[in-house]
Amino acid sequence: MKELFNTILMIAIALLLGGVITRVRSVLSGRRGPSIVQHLHNVALLARKGSVYSPTTSILFRVAPAVYMGSALLALLFIPIGNLDPLLSFRGDVVVFAYLLGLGRLSLVLAAMDTGSSFEGMGASREALYGALVEPALFAVVATLAMVCGYTSFADIFSVARDLDMQMTIVMVLLAYVLVKVYTVEQGRVPVDDPRTHLELTMIHEVMVLDYSGVDMAMIHCANWFKGAALAVLAANAVMLPLCFKWWTVAPLSLLVAVIVGVVESSQARGKLVRNTTYILTVSALAALLLFVAYLLTLNIQIS
Amino acid sequence: MKWFTTYNNGSAIDLRQIPSLSYAEFFEAVRERLSNPACHVAHYFGVPVEETRLRVWCMILNDEEHTIEVASYDVDYYDEELPSLTKEFAAMHPFERDMTERWGIRYDGMPWDKPLRAPSRSARRGGTVDEYPFYKMESASLHEVNVGPIHAGIIEPGAFRFICNGEEVLHLEISLGYQHRGAERQIETSKSLLRQVLLAEGIAGDSAVTHTTALVRTIEKLTSFDSSKAGNLDVERAVALELERMAMHIADTGALCMDVGYQLGQVACEALRTMTINTTQLWCGNRFGKGLIRPFGTNFPLTDELRATILKNVEEIRRRYNEVRHDIKTTPSLLSRMEQCGIVNAQQMQRIGGVGQAARASGVARDLRVSHPWGVFTDRIAHQSIIKEQGDVMARLMMRCREVLQAADTITSLLTDLDCSVGSPAPQWEVKLPPYQLSTALVEGWRGECCHVAITDGEGRVACYRVKDPSMHNWLALAIAVRSEGISDFPICNKSFNLSYCGHDL
């Protein structure tokens, strides 16, 4: 029962995050903004439509959305919200989680190359580069969590509240910070990418899916939301682990990730594309540093 | 060889006074003049006089002497040995390409012999972008990216072909000419002055006031009409022009913010731009100032009430825009995007004959309000150009910011002590134009130098009408700006110039 509730709550968070970002942006720009579920209506509309395929594309292009959505959904099922239990869990599932995200990315990159469009090729090359650069960050975060808790599945890591000291709590908060950064990269938000831009030459994620329409596009949107929710809930879990670790504290906190992203997007310009690599590497470097510090802390070496 | 010298504020010229040179003399004379950095070509175009003969007119502006120098030469279709001026002066390229495209005149040694307005012109009419002779570089590590001619955004059509090494742009070639409406031809053939004015309003929708002012001044100069004695007419036109400048610069500031994903600047500028164009709408019923500029008078003379509203709005816009400007200048993420991006240095700008705010952002002080003043700029306003040296996207943005504030100041100083009881005359539509005259008017629009030329025939009809939008000069600057930039920075480089596609294609 707890598993089912966890899954439903997870999907609810996934569907809400995008709306919260849009709402925060609207309010900060002095507008009322669309309804918080407007993006769901948009995708529902897409899902009712058929798809159009370019004659230059192959089967790769057609299966990619399904692979992308399937992998994102599967990844989502490994993540517990607070003290709830996830649907799927086994030892070492943290690695499967990271590679499921990787598989989804790979399928989209291949599909983008399959179209033969010069825009999509550029988008794919950028996405592959940033994906490769941000993956170490995700692994370092997960490794830190696994090391601190002594387990290698998300269900075990986030089973009960841990009694961590002050130093380790700070490490947890910083892990959440890194996860928010990973979220911005994976979701293509400012400063790495700008999901609202209409300029093909500057897009990353948006340009890879230019050729998709109808139900395929709807699947890609859903997959993005699932991916985002998994990362946002992970971040909230990490913060709450040493504190009040309950599903009703973690779930609202994961929406705070969307608020943070909205605030950043409203107040800051997108970075220059060539500097994105530096930016993402910094995130990965911070994650590596956290892993090292956490290791020292588990050895009980006092850092003053 | 002495050329005929006139001024922007002068009157029309009798065609017989303009010296007719041989091409060799002309070539030497142009070379001599253009080697002076204060000189540049305002217009250079051919008009058919007989079956195979063309009379070519050339106008060179001297910024220091405030003069317009005019000369002409005749060329036969079968003439040979016309050495290209573009070879030495890159700034001549749009004019020589236009001549080749329109009249089939070939210039020897022309380094960039490509159609100016493919596919709308002559032999290439109806062609597609695939047939355009784009520059090629062959290498396994390079790839080409074609954008357009139809774009995803709500912008005009134009094809951009990039040659890239990964993310770095090595070369950009721009092919325009998808907007041909025959504006010049229609102005020549229409008998009604009202229709001509309406056509001018449609040359480039974002410069309606600029182009209409240029057209009515060209016509007024033919009849020796003195607008400075026609009530508040000069002031009204100047205010309309500066309002247009404010509106477009603010819109571009917002668009630049949008392209870098800076929401705060975008929404603030969108609101301010609406306020500016609504002020114009309040005045004349059209947000872009269509209907406001009319020959020999106006349908919308300023009233005291209107004057007070404009003053109040302009003051409000100025205050709020200044806050946005301060915000932009102090946001690190914006500075890192725009500084050192898309640089066109002063030497390049000078060579390609750049005009307007883009040239001034690169340190080329070209401003008709100073060099060739007309109307209020001759006496009431001592205009001082804003010059920046960096020539990057940030410089062009800051140029816009400063010009908005300056335009607001100009409007304020023009309107503060204006006596609205003087009024302005109503427009006249039935005018007799003198025969065999050449009249030219230069107006500094928000984009830069706009030049209109009219030549009348023996019966006093406008036999030839030529329009030059500042974009003609500046498109090349965009191609230079993106060289060795990241391809993802092309949109902000493009927006920082914001050149006209339809103004280029008449």
For chain B, domain boundaries:
4-117, 183-497
Confidence of residue A274 (pLDDT cuts 50, 70, 90): confident
pLDDT tens for residues B405-443?
999 999 999 999 899 999 899 999 999 999 999 999 999
pLDDT at B476 over 80: yes
Q: Where are the alpha helices (DSSP H) in A115-201?
A: 118-149, 154-157, 166-186
Out of A4-18, A192-206, B199-213, B318-332, least confident range: A192-206
Range of the domain at A226: 2-298
Type and span of the H or E element at B159 = strand B159-165
- Predicted model pTM: 0.93
Write out the two tokens for A34: 């669309």
Contacts of A31 in chain B (CB under 8 A): 267
Could you tell me if B340 lies within 8 Å of chain A, comparing CB atoms? no
Establish if A188 belongs to a structural domain: yes
Residue pair B84/B108 in contact (Cβ under 8 Å)? The answer is yes
Best of B260, B323, B324 to disrupt the A interface by mutation (most A CBs within 10 Å)? B260
pLDDT at B29 over 80: yes
Q: CA separation (Å) from B482 to A191, A303, B95?
A: 22, 50, 23
**If you average pLDDT over residues B173-200, what whole number do you get?**
92
Establish if A45 belongs to a structural domain: yes
Residue closest to A34 by CA, chosen among A44, A53, A48, A19: A19
pLDDT of residue B121: 55
pLDDT of residue B151: 85
**If you average pLDDT over residues B355-361, what whole number do you get?**
95
Q: How many domains does chain A have?
A: 1
**ipTM score here?**
0.89
Residue A34 burial by Cβ neighbours in a 10 Å radius (0-12, 13-18, 19+): middle
Q: Which of A200, A202, A269 sits opposite B334 (nearest CB)?
A: A269
Question: Which residues are B465's β-sheet partners?
Answer: B454
pLDDT at B120 over 60: no
Distance separating alpha carbons of residues B342 and B494, to the nearest angstrom: 9
Establish if A33 belongs to a structural domain: yes
**If you average pLDDT over residues B24-29, what whole number do you get?**
94
pLDDT at A182 over 90: yes
Q: CA separation (Å) from B400 to A132, B357, B433?
A: 40, 8, 39
Distance separating alpha carbons of residues B422 and B420, to the nearest angstrom: 5
Distance separating alpha carbons of residues A102 and A110, to the nearest angstrom: 12
Instruction: Count interface pairs A-B at CB distance under 8 A.
Output: 82
Establish if A304 belongs to a structural domain: no
Q: Which of B144, B264, B267 sits opposite A267 (nearest CB)?
A: B264
pLDDT of residue A93: 93
**If you average pLDDT over residues B280-302, what whole number do you get?**
95
Least Cα separation, residue B438 to chain A (angstroms)? 45
Q: Percent of chain A beyond pLDDT 70?
A: 99
Contacts of A118 in chain B (CB under 8 A): 143-146
Could you tell me if B159 lies within 8 Å of chain A, comparing CB atoms? no
Residue pair B249/B404 in contact (Cβ under 8 Å)? The answer is yes
Could you tell me if B341 lies within 8 Å of chain A, comparing CB atoms? yes
Q: Which of A198, A201, A266 sits opposite B147 (nearest CB)?
A: A201
| Cα-Cα end-to-end distance for chain A | 46
Establish if A303 belongs to a structural domain: no
Say which CATH class B4-117 falls into. alpha beta
pLDDT of residue B156: 87
Q: What's domain B183-497's architecture?
A: Orthogonal Bundle (1.10)
Establish if A118 belongs to a structural domain: yes
Q: Which one-letter DSSP state was computed for residue B453?
A: E
Compare all CA atoms of chain A with the CA of B169 and give the residue at the minimum distance.
A201
pLDDT of residue B447: 95
Out of A30-39, B77-86, B164-173, least confident range: B77-86
pLDDT tens for residues B126-184?
667 777 888 999 999 999 999 878 887 778 889 999 999 989 999 999 998 888 888 99
